[in-house]
A = this chain, B = another copy of it.
Amino acid sequence: MAETVKATNITWHQGDIVRANREAANGHRATVIWFTGLSASGKSTLAHAVENTLFERGCRTYVLDGDNIRHGLNKDLGFSPEDREENIRRIGEVAKLFVDAGVIAMTAFISPYRADRAKARSLCPDSFTEIYVKCDLAVCEERDPKGLYKKARAGQVKEFTGISAPYEEPESPELVIDTSHESLEESAAKVIAYLEAKGIVPAA
C-alpha cells in the first residue's frame, strides 16, 4: 500500500500547477514591483494607482504596504536597523510567493537600505523592478499626511528615515519617478509604459 501511495504522489506532483501555468492563464507575466522612497513620497498611492489600471485590464495584482503588513505579518517588528532588515526580508519572501502564484506583487515600503533591497531582488532576480519614488524631503515634510515628520522633528518618533535615520538612494533602479514634479497620473502612466515595454503586461 505504501508503494501505491507513493506512486500516486509522484503522478500528482508531476501535474502540479507552476508559475508558468498561472501566467498563461492570467495573460501577463508575474513580477515584483518594488517601490522605495521616503515616507510620504507617494509609494503606496502610486502602487494603488498602478493597480487600478492593471485591474481594469484584467491583470492579477496585489499591493503589500504598511496597512496590511505592519499590523499583521510584521507586527512583532519595530524600526531598529535589525527589525527593518527582517521587515524587508519577510516582505521580499512574501512578494516571491505572490510571484510564484502568478501575481504582479507591488511593495510600498521605505526600504531605506541598499543591502536589504538587493536581497529582495536576489529572491526574484529575473522578475524584479525597483522603482525609486523620488521626492524632495521638503515636499514630503510638507505633505506629512500622518504627522510623522512633525513628531520626528520633535523627537517623539525615533529613527525616522530622512530625519534621524538614513535613506540610501537606489544606485541603479529600473525606474525613477519624481513625485515632487509629476502628477500621479503621469507617474502611473510611466510605470505602466515600463511594464508594457518589458512585455510584463500586454500593451493596452
Knowing A17-B55, A25-B58, A143-B5, say if A48 contacts B12 (CB, 8 Å). Answer: yes
Contact B68 A100 (CB under 8 A): yes
In the bound complex, how far is the Cα of B26 from the Cα of A58, in angstroms? Answer: 10
Complex Cα distance, B62 from A101, in Å, reads 6
Contact at B12–A49, with CB atoms within 8 Å? yes
Distance (Å) between the CB of A10 and the closest chain B CB?
10
One digit per residue, 1 when the CB lies within 8 angstroms of any chain B CB and 0 when it does not, for chain A 4-48 equals 011011001101110001100100000000000000001001001
Kindly state whether residue A118 has any CB partner on chain B within 8 Å.
no
Determine the distance from Cα of A25 to Cα of B16 in the docked complex, in whole angstroms: 24
Residues in A55-105 with C-beta less than 8 Å from chain B: 55, 58, 60-62, 64, 68, 72-73, 90, 93-94, 96-98, 100-103
A52 near B: Cβ within 8 Å?
yes
Q: Does A142 lie at the interface of the complex (its beta carbon under 8 Å from any beta carbon of B)?
A: yes
**Shortest CB distance A50–B (Å):** 10
Distance, CA A21 to CA B100, complexed state (A): 22
Minimal beta-carbon separation of A183 from chain B (angstroms): 8
What are 10 A-B contacts defined by CB distance under 8 Å?
A1-B139, A15-B52, A16-B48, A17-B52, A60-B60, A60-B101, A62-B100, A72-B96, A72-B123, A101-B103
